[in-house]
């Protein structure tokens, strides 16, 4: 069994779960506050905290072996199109665009 791929799939599922929770929270909070900037900023930061925190917990759990394979397999388990290089480029461009909008 390819444990790197299993870990990648697990991480992808956990991230998806976190994204759904962030979306639900955002919908509820925006309905109450009507403050889009605070809602999107908090939801994005919260999801990023969760995503990095999962990796931190994993590494702190001394399961370092396969760590980089694990990250690489996140994209493979989602079956994203294109090579790893293209995916990195797309995420960098998306990150800059989202960051630019949020910082205005």
DSSP single-letter state for residue 103: T
Smallest distance, Å, CB 65 to other proteins?
5
Burial letters 37-70, b for 16+ CB under 10 A, else e: eebbeebeeebeebeeeeeeebeeeeeeebeeeb
Residue of the chain from 56, 90, 94, 101 that contacts other proteins (CB under 8 A): 56
- Contact set with other proteins (CB under 8 A): 3, 35, 38, 41-42, 45-46, 48-49, 52-53, 55-56, 59-60, 62, 64-69, 71, 83-85, 88, 92, 96, 100, 103-104
């Amino acid at each position: 069994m390819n444990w790197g791929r299993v870990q990648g799939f697990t991480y992808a599922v956990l991230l998806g779960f976190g994204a759904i929770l962030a979306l639900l929270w955002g919908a509820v909070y925006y309905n109450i506050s009507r403050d889009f900037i605070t809602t999107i900023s908090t939801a994005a930061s919260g999801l990023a905290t969760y995503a990095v925190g999962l990796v931190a917990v994993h590494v702190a759990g001394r399961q370092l072996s396969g760590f980089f394979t694990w990250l690489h397999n996140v994209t493979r388990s989602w079956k994203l199109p294109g090579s790893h290089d293209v995916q990195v480029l797309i995420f960098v461009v998306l990150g800059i665009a989202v960051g630019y909008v949020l910082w205005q």
